[in-house]
Structure 1
């Protein structure tokens, strides 16, 4: 990845901390993708005793993960402390209501590129729309593979390269700086999974289009979910009203039926961690008599 497309983690962290208070009001797509992930998860045969919610945000997946699997250990991990606080508040309240639950909940503030968990300690890693905030996908996948137990499941969603293409094209026509994340293609994600030791990856793509009456509404929603420009190659300093006015005029070419679109390509995927040494040692071999 080119340096200008590297994510400034401190800036991204600050954006999500700031967005935590009103995140739920604007995270319409994130909630829809969450529902789609659970539909896919229900098709897989797995009974995890320990689950890691990687990049958990405000912890929206927690209640359903607990209800579906009743795991002994459910770990929430996010690099934005204020988001993690929201997750703890939401899931603590739910936990107290379900008195019969024996699930132990842990909340860890850490970067998903530096997962502070022991090897072979988690049966399932769940990640909803967080991988796009990584700079080194191989590093993340390698750590997830190490963290998973034998036959552990990694299930995730992330944004693909067509995400916000209207905004990206409008910006590119008059600005030399990087303003929108460079999202990774589904096929490259699949290759990375194989490269990092996963087996039988399954990936598919859905495209969602949110519509708005004004350009300001698009920018407001992006701001409220923490999706500010955190790239190292961004323009330094404030862009100013003139910049936004010019961008708004260019974006108008996409207006249809009195609405402005904002497109999102969502990549869904899952793969299994298979310990090849264990597999080979379990095979019964017959040799001809000498």
Structure 2
């Protein structure tokens, strides 16, 4: 089997539980702190098809994009928002009411075969350890001619953060982001007839280290490690390292964004 279809060997057995817990805790503050994530989502928005009747917002979070998709495609469209984190779905229901909200895993979608015209997913699948299974599920639930529009993250994402927090003999606990080539290979193996991946490097700036970390922790993008106890010395070292990177606009945080268009 191609390595593009295999989960990362170091993924903990309770990975999904930890991710769901982290994002549930962040649900109430997500939209306020997710300005970078929303800016990157606009790149997907510009690629939406003119019409779609059955739509899935995969990794919908508190429902920002689901609500916009529902407004765009109108009351006759069937739209589902799906997320792994129950806390995110609670916020989505409270703020937006409809559409249909489902708690589920991108690698085992609780949806029928060939039932969707469009899957929209902004910065969710990087949290899924088995990329091949995710793409196989997307291929299964899309109708022939259906499309998936996905934003995810590649190697080099948050390099400044990793450099600031790294300790001797132990790198920072960042995700093992997968390359453009691995996404291409996994999508083709899943059976998509058209696959396009565009790479870009959006950069955002923050006034200080606290704001940088709030933009990451505050949107749930961190899971606890048993050895993740930080000291005042760790914090001071991270602050010094990040300050050395300061630009006129502030402290930089760079994402390696992969924007995928898949057609079944």
Contact kept, 8 Å, 1:5 with 1:182, in 2: the verdict is no
Distance 1:237 1:157, change over 3 A: closer
Structure 2 equivalent of residue 270 of structure 1:
261
Contact kept, 8 Å, 1:125 with 1:153, in 2: the verdict is yes
Structure 2 equivalent of residue 150 of structure 1:
144
Greater mean deviation of Cα atoms: 172-181 or 23-32: 172-181
Say which of 238, 241, 245 aligns to 1:250: 241
Q: CA deviation at 1:129?
A: 0.7
Greater mean deviation of Cα atoms: 244-253 or 128-137: 244-253
The alignment status of 1:76 with 2:67, answered yes or no, reads no
**TM-score scaled to structure 2, two decimals?**
0.89
Within a 5 Å distance, the mapping from 1:3-42 to structure 2 comes to: 3-4=9-10, 8-41=15-48
Greater mean deviation of Cα atoms: 170-179 or 118-127: 170-179
* SS at 1:238 equivalent: coil
The alignment status of 1:216 with 2:210, answered yes or no, reads yes
Q: Which has the larger radius of gyration?
A: 1
Contact kept, 8 Å, 2:112 with 2:141, in 1: the verdict is yes
The number of aligned residues is 256
**TM-score scaled to structure 1, two decimals?**
0.81
* SS at 1:40 equivalent: coil
Output one character per residue of 1:6-44: Cα deviation in whole Å (capped at 9) or x when no partner: 582212111111111111111001111222211122xx4
Q: Distance in 1 between matches of 2:136 and 2:184?
A: 13
* SS at 2:28 equivalent: coil
Contact kept, 8 Å, 1:178 with 1:235, in 2: the verdict is no
Aligned Cα root-mean-square deviation (Å): 2.0
Greater mean deviation of Cα atoms: 112-121 or 242-251: 242-251
Q: Distance in 1 between matches of 2:30 and 2:82?
A: 17
Q: Which runs of 5+ in 1 are unaligned?
A: 96-104, 274-290
Structure 2 equivalent of residue 91 of structure 1:
96
Contact kept, 8 Å, 1:202 with 1:270, in 2: the verdict is yes
Give the 4+ runs in structure 1 shifted more than 4 A. none
Q: Which runs of 5+ in 2 are unaligned?
A: 1-6
